[in-house]
Structure 1
Amino acid sequence: MAFAVLKQPASLREMSYIRRWLVFFSGFLETALWSGTIFGWASLVHILKTQGVFSHLCRDDFQEGWNETLAISLSSDEEAFTIPSAIARGCRAQDERFALIGTVAMVLYSTPGILIGYGLHHLGQAFTRITSSVLISLGFVLLSLTSKETPDYLWGGSIFVSVGGNMIRMSCLEFGNLFPERRNTVMGIVSGIYTLSAAVFMLMQFAFEAGYRWEMICQVMAVGSSLIVFTTLFIPWHHIPNDDYEEAEYGQQLKCLTVDGTKDNSGKLTDVRTNTEVCAGKMKLVTTRKASDSPQIPLRESLFSVSMGLLQFWIFNNMFAITIFGTYFNSWINRFSKNVEEAAYYSRMFGYANILCALATPLPGSIIDALSAYLKKGKKSLDESVANVQATIAPMIFISITITVQISCFLFFSPWAVYVGLFFLIINRPGCLGVGIPFMRARFPANHFNRLIGIQGTLIAVLATLQYPHFTWSQTHYYWAMGLVIFMLSLSVVLPLHLLNKKYLYRTFDRSPYKNKNEEA
């Protein structure tokens, strides 16, 4: 089956079912491999510590957190540890440097979101995806150059992998439009499967421990990420068509057309000789209204709404907690691990947990779709729109509770806390965005989606700069630092609870451009 290179379909109907599945499958793989690689930071830190990256910071430091005494000696002519286990274990200064770089990279993951969102809206899929491919490939090249002698390449490598990963993730979120009846499920899968890419660094750790050269491992990853350019050739070059307004209108027109409508060879309507057609025994006005002619809600009304503010608060709290779980994980397990082998084991378990996140990715969207279908049964017009939004209430409350339990594990220094924390990580990493993004898609107009996602990402990234001062605070006031995060998480339930107010939602959707569509149905 031949696909036109960089073609933009006028509507979803112009994309065959096979092509839709191919587009979804390619987006699924790209998101699973490259979109959130940076969140496997703990595995990357273990590899780099083993190579002695930033080990020079430990020459005057005491090794903290050991359950056994290790001597560190430096020769007079080289700055290298003579005991490999001490290199892997590191010290506080080294941990803080890795935490600083990891924080910067993770903050910059979403900081350019506003630019990416507007880029997707105006420049389209092809531009965003190709730029993403270039950044990710360049990032892995810089990581291949990172070593004990040249540790500062880690800055550029981690930042490029991070920013490029977010670009491919945001571009694939539109793929929910491919299957309108299962939109939340598809969006939940695409928004959640990014967690699987956090295991890429764990796979690189396995390869490194198996004896493969670090440079070669990174170069293979660089080549793999460059294949995004190839898959872009059969994806709509600008955007994935949606059916929220113009598609429903146009589809209804085609059902009502009879002998008075003529079509060209491609099957598109080209001429209508009269403005009225017989439809189900009644005269009905036939229009050729486009999406640009439909009622539009200004972006600022969505951006400054109560729902958007509470969504920002909910996603920030949850993502902040999930991020610090990954960032602090290495230093946390070092506090109670008996030796380097046990710390390496927990690091691998962290990687396994990120792989298992893939099993949980369909659940949030599937649950929302099922709840939405149940709540919409027998309803029409505004009731359907309200039901779509309220279907997210229960999943949001569940995610808020499980993330609170996950971060509470940091209050304990025991193997059981590691297993409990990783179990809830499997649920929460895909669940947070797997619920939050479908809510945004249901609550706000479709043509606001890319820009709202981008603006939201930038704002959350700016707030995420609190991660590093929080890390340094936790070094001296550990329980207070963790207690504050737990308290903020407990306040996150305000978002789902405010959705119980149907009057607020009815007022919101009464001005929606979808109102007329629903009333005609």
Structure 2
Amino acid sequence: MAGVGTVRRWLTFATGLLECLCFSGALFGWSALVFVLKTEGYFGFRCVDSPGANATRALGQFDNLTLKLTSSAPQCSAQDERFSLVFAIASNMSNVLMLPSGFLFDRFGTAVARLIATFLYTTGTLMVAFSTPALSNLLFPALSLMGVGGVLFLMSNIQIGNLFSSHQTTVTTLYNGAFDSSSALFFVIKLLHDAGISLRTSFLFLSACSVIHLLRTFFLLPRDHIPYPLPDDYAYGMTCGKSRTLISQHTTASGEPQMTTQEKNLKDEPVTEEKSFRECLMSWFYVSQLLWLSVMQLRQLFFVGTLLPTLQRLTAGQPSLVSHYTNAFAVMQLCSLLCAPWNGLILDRHKGKLRAAGESEQEAALRALVLSLSLTVLQCVLFSVCAAVPNLPLQYLTFVLQVVHRSFLYGGNAAFINVAFPLCHFGKLYGLCLGLSSVICLLLDACLSLLNGNILYVNICLTLLVLLAFINPLVVFLHCRGLAYRRAASGAIEAIEASSLSLSHETCPSNVF
């Protein structure tokens, strides 16, 4: 794509990155917003009978840790439990609705999915803007709507990588990293609140930003999906009030319709039937990928959920040290945007290497994924071992490994599903994978609770579980090796047939008339 097409493509990329960074994953910065909501008196009526009660209960996300240690406001367990419930419902709603969101995206296309996402997200921000301490319960539907809308924004942006064929995976992983780093949005709102800008003003501004989402939907994204590989004459968005189609029709001098190069290529190539959703779901690729994601996601969640008591144990309960380490951990989480593209660069570099004769682009991408999947598991093993060692300075290295692994984990998951399965099932498979992995994490967490909170034994079990994730790169490697063997055998047979045909021509006597 050249000229205006190139400008539009890069504008689509830049605005998509901004959307993921500033809106999509804002829910996971919830604890910074809790600080503001407490100041405003939300759910304060629940503390009338128990002022200054117990300390806050963990929300299950890293941002919450800094809040609990830096807030000077009196703590009220009833109020904190209510805030925890808001986050728990919103995050679980996002996970449960992953599959319906994927079906919506695959069935109705980008435009419809994004319009629904914009409606949900805007409704959620308006609910927060017009909520008051007397209407604190509005936070329950508001944060849930923002969470679901944010996931749909991410899902619709991941396909932008298809516009950059040589850097497809780098763009995909970069967007996932931006999604992780977008938890900083609520932290910015907290800083603005400290500077005197009201909560209502901030959320009304977020609501007004829906204009950006709408402009991107109509002018910088297609109505359906971005195909891969990208046709030469592909165009998207509105141009002078008209929407161009995927393949434009050309005419000859006599006015007769003429097939484009893309149509000729499609006519000449044999039509291969794509796998059904059920076939994808029951494949070893998908099952092993689900196992790969689930066990490492559990390792991540357990570390985050037990970080505060672990640091309290390692520091002998010194508040200043605990606050220092949790602040360092919270700052590290914002580096996901910097770490995530490295996974994509590794994939794109190895995918771009010289391919063997007869090797398809998908096979080359799968071969590159073996390295990425294995490296992600290795990172998790190192991270798990460091987390299990009761040494306080070592936790700095643990924090670095945790954020790097987190970036590789979610970006690699999206890249794998994008490469290994048909694009028409991406939304469903991506949403279902994240949803099912969350359910599996809950089941495994319930099993680990049988160890009666013995952190050492739990860490050992988690490290052993993580080793099971090597099954996925092994499955992909065996698949690629099988394809290579079949390709080599087919080439040998063709060579033998060609040699036999040549010999038969040489030994056959010529006819004499």
TM class, shorter-chain normalised?
A: 0.7 to 0.9
1:440 aligned onto 2:431: no
> What SS does the corresponding residue of 1:124 show, helix, strand or coil?
helix
Give the letter for the 2:120 counterpart.
Answer: L
- 1:138-287 pair list within 5 angstroms: 138-144=123-129, 150-244=135-229, 247=231, 263-264=250-251, 270-271=257-258, 286=264
Q: Is the 8 A contact 1:364 1:395 kept in 2?
A: yes
Structure 1 CA distance for aligned equivalents of residues 187 and 486 of structure 2: 46
1:103 aligned onto 2:88: yes
Structure 1 CA distance for aligned equivalents of residues 103 and 446 of structure 2: 31
Deviates most, 469-478 or 317-326:
469-478
Identity of aligned residues (%): 20
Does the C-alpha gap of structure 1 residues 359 and 305 become closer, same or farther in structure 2, counting only changes over 3 Å? Answer: same
Q: 1:306 aligns with which of 280, 284, 307?
A: 284
Q: Is the 8 A contact 2:51 2:74 kept in 1?
A: no
Q: Is the 8 A contact 1:110 1:166 kept in 2?
A: no
Structure 2 CA distance for aligned equivalents of residues 435 and 160 of structure 1: 26
Give the letter for the 1:233 counterpart.
Answer: F
Q: Is the 8 A contact 2:169 2:415 kept in 1?
A: yes
1:126 aligned onto 2:111: yes
Give the letter for the 1:366 counterpart.
Answer: L
Structure 2 CA distance for aligned equivalents of residues 467 and 38 of structure 1: 25
Q: Whose Rg is larger?
A: 2
Q: Is the 8 A contact 1:332 1:410 kept in 2?
A: no
Give the letter for the 1:105 counterpart.
Answer: A
Q: When the two structures are superposed, what TM-score results if normalisation uses the length of structure 2?
A: 0.74
Report the counterpart of residue 18 of structure 1 in structure 2: 7
Structure 1 CA distance for aligned equivalents of residues 10 and 96 of structure 2: 31
Q: 1:493 aligns with which of 441, 452, 470?
A: 470
Deviates most, 158-167 or 108-117:
108-117
Structure 1 CA distance for aligned equivalents of residues 98 and 3 of structure 2: 30
> What SS does the corresponding residue of 1:141 show, helix, strand or coil?
helix
How many pairs are equivalent?
454
- 1:419-498 pair list within 5 angstroms: 419-465=396-442, 484-498=461-475
Deviates most, 310-319 or 405-414:
405-414
Q: Is the 8 A contact 2:366 2:480 kept in 1?
A: no
Does the C-alpha gap of structure 1 residues 466 and 409 become closer, same or farther in structure 2, counting only changes over 3 Å? Answer: farther
Measured against aligned partners, the alpha-carbon deviations of 1:290-331 in whole angstroms (never above 9, x if no partner) come to 999653222222111111001011122333443455555567
Give the letter for the 1:28 counterpart.
Answer: L
Does the C-alpha gap of structure 1 residues 468 and 303 become closer, same or farther in structure 2, counting only changes over 3 Å? Answer: closer
Structure 2 CA distance for aligned equivalents of residues 152 and 31 of structure 1: 27
Does the C-alpha gap of structure 1 residues 460 and 242 become closer, same or farther in structure 2, counting only changes over 3 Å? Answer: same
Structure 2 CA distance for aligned equivalents of residues 221 and 406 of structure 1: 37
Q: Is the 8 A contact 2:162 2:227 kept in 1?
A: yes
Does the C-alpha gap of structure 1 residues 383 and 134 become closer, same or farther in structure 2, counting only changes over 3 Å? Answer: closer
Give the letter for the 2:337 counterpart.
Answer: A
Give the letter for the 1:111 counterpart.
Answer: V
Give the letter for the 1:110 counterpart.
Answer: N
Q: 2:18 aligns with which of 15, 29, 34?
A: 29
Measured against aligned partners, the alpha-carbon deviations of 1:453-480 in whole angstroms (never above 9, x if no partner) come to 1332332344455599699989955555
Does the C-alpha gap of structure 1 residues 51 and 206 become closer, same or farther in structure 2, counting only changes over 3 Å? Answer: same
Structure 2 CA distance for aligned equivalents of residues 330 and 218 of structure 1: 30
Structure 2 CA distance for aligned equivalents of residues 470 and 230 of structure 1: 48
Give the letter for the 1:85 counterpart.
Answer: S
**Gap runs ≥5 in structure 1:** 1-11, 66-83, 251-261, 278-284, 511-521
Report the counterpart of residue 76 of structure 1 in structure 2: none
Report the counterpart of residue 358 of structure 1 in structure 2: 337
> What SS does the corresponding residue of 1:87 show, helix, strand or coil?
coil
Could you tell me how far 1:95 is from its partner in structure 2?
5.5
Report the counterpart of residue 59 of structure 1 in structure 2: 50
Q: Is the 8 A contact 1:357 1:427 kept in 2?
A: yes
Q: Is the 8 A contact 1:174 1:239 kept in 2?
A: no
1:85 aligned onto 2:81: no
Could you tell me how far 1:85 is from its partner in structure 2?
2.8
Deviates most, 342-351 or 395-404:
342-351
Q: Is the 8 A contact 2:177 2:411 kept in 1?
A: yes
Measured against aligned partners, the alpha-carbon deviations of 1:120-146 in whole angstroms (never above 9, x if no partner) come to 222111111122122222223334466
Does the C-alpha gap of structure 1 residues 241 and 147 become closer, same or farther in structure 2, counting only changes over 3 Å? Answer: closer
Measured against aligned partners, the alpha-carbon deviations of 1:319-369 in whole angstroms (never above 9, x if no partner) come to 344345555556766776644x77666565444323322112221111111
Does the C-alpha gap of structure 1 residues 43 and 192 become closer, same or farther in structure 2, counting only changes over 3 Å? Answer: same
Could you tell me how far 1:160 is from its partner in structure 2?
1.5
- 1:289-368 pair list within 5 angstroms: 289=267, 294-326=272-304, 338-339=318-319, 348-368=327-347
Report the counterpart of residue 391 of structure 1 in structure 2: 368
Does the C-alpha gap of structure 1 residues 311 and 169 become closer, same or farther in structure 2, counting only changes over 3 Å? Answer: same
Does the C-alpha gap of structure 1 residues 423 and 489 become closer, same or farther in structure 2, counting only changes over 3 Å? Answer: same
Could you tell me how far 1:166 is from its partner in structure 2?
0.5
Structure 2 CA distance for aligned equivalents of residues 298 and 242 of structure 1: 18
Q: Is the 8 A contact 2:121 2:145 kept in 1?
A: yes
Q: 1:402 aligns with which of 356, 361, 379?
A: 379
Could you tell me how far 1:502 is from its partner in structure 2?
4.1
Q: Is the 8 A contact 1:40 1:326 kept in 2?
A: no
Could you tell me how far 1:184 is from its partner in structure 2?
1.4
Could you tell me how far 1:105 is from its partner in structure 2?
2.2
Structure 2 CA distance for aligned equivalents of residues 107 and 350 of structure 1: 24
Structure showing greater relative contact order (alpha-carbon pairs closer than 8 Å, 6 or more residues apart): 1
Could you tell me how far 1:164 is from its partner in structure 2?
0.9
Structure 1 CA distance for aligned equivalents of residues 268 and 227 of structure 2: 13
Deviates most, 473-482 or 201-210:
473-482
Could you tell me how far 1:17 is from its partner in structure 2?
1.6
Give the letter for the 1:395 counterpart.
Answer: S
User: What value does the CA root-mean-square deviation take over the aligned residues?
Assistant: 4.3
Does the C-alpha gap of structure 1 residues 209 and 309 become closer, same or farther in structure 2, counting only changes over 3 Å? Answer: same
**Gap runs ≥5 in structure 2:** 57-70, 235-248, 488-513
Q: Is the 8 A contact 1:42 1:326 kept in 2?
A: no
Structure 1 CA distance for aligned equivalents of residues 450 and 86 of structure 2: 17
Report the counterpart of residue 38 of structure 1 in structure 2: 27
